[in-house]
Chain A
């Protein structure tokens, strides 16, 4: 029988859970835990400069590896600083466990120093949260937290740990449970066979089908199954911003991503389709545009692990609740064995129409003889990294340009805050990726607005030697805000101009990194090459881009999917 203190149990449970890295920041209520951390070397701790960044690091790690990330913070401000990060992970269904110190249980409710009701504060933005009421419960609570975070529709789980649960000299028997069982939590393990059969029959009968895939395919590790099914059928596929990489972007069946800034051809194909096979996506408002005008001729098959995602905004004709990999596998078998075959003539006509749309717009932008276009920067990066880098982004125009012009052929490489739209996400997320992928190129494509929301992490990068490449598309404005003001507020640029920007080159140098400024178009490619050649250095690349560029296509507000601006002057 092994006797351990609550703090040692906690760290031991993390070891037994197979956790390699935790990201965090110490403080009073977490000190027993930090002491236990000090006395072992299996679980490595990364000390960030702000707790929000710890959560984004864990998030970046989780998105790149598919494994749950882990955060450790103290009570009060330590805990509340994690909220934006937790909400980010929650909106994108990212598995994560956030361990928060809490004041001693005897003080709870007395407005003690650094006391916050973290269970209450985090409740709307977690998959679940758990509170430790006795030190002996710790191993089971940790096991449960990871189980809940990583299964079903993944999400963040908060564990609140009052300080007296981790007292060093109170020891209890340590037993790490092999399995957890929760009578009230049983995620689906397969889809309904009858529904799957119905879906396959509809796929075979469709004349203008389209596959609409989302982040659920990546989270559900179903990219192989999706690719196989799509290639077997020969149908067009589009995906959401979160689904980027779930199907190779360079493949001819891929129409690009859809929605507000999606490709012309994918939005047109969705609108004119007669059957939508939705796989692990959720008909988000950034995809559907006005729901009452959404794809009027389409019948909808919707596969999702989360029943609440089905028929939430758009009614499904055939709902299938289940893990996407298992459901797609069954569909592949049924398609293979099916006596019916797709209607070759109708599908050929459908492709002919789609190719016309693709030829009409594709992805294009106007170049300039002297100004650097943000799109050009992304295209250059894509070429120079052979499309194989991990790319994280912040939120705004640069995010859309990165997603539009970097073509991802693999999952888990495009890492952005799609649901919550969190500025400040990109750098810490890139750090989380780089830590576990030291030999891969990790780019953080950002803007001068977003990067300043977590710029302090340049210090963490120095401490742990995380040579990410920060690509700052500097347009001296909050570009997406400014674009909306141009389009909807007669160019009244209310508070979207950022004056007094720091000298980012000197700033990077002050933190011990390399700074590079690019402001001449002719230097772009050569300087980017130099930057990428500095393998062991974090390089902050401050690129002065066209300040007036807009992101297109852009769906017309309250229109249907096919209503888009294609440039500042063309509207379809």
Chain B
């Protein structure tokens, strides 16, 4: 079947197998930030945006992306780089495998709410599993990023 979608800002059409998962389709298109993890819809490694909403690409048929916008970490380069620098500064990345999914969901949160509380961050990121870090580094990184962004905005306003 033919699939037409907008991937990271570029409209494209591809012939796909009807049963292919979005995760596999995206990796076949070179989006290697999208990782295969648990296979049980639990780990969040495969998080992408479907029309700006974070979803698990391992649990979504590519066919369901027909006519829609799909965004992976590759399509969020600047936004992701800024946040990633703060995560890295906290030493939160160890093996780094969970990081793309973590970044995608953290960006989704910060788009929904610019200044979430610690509890709101923990709640929103509960679906992203990390087996190295214990989550504290990521939390500190996100909080530091929020503070930096506030000061940047304040500075720009002045």
A binds B: no
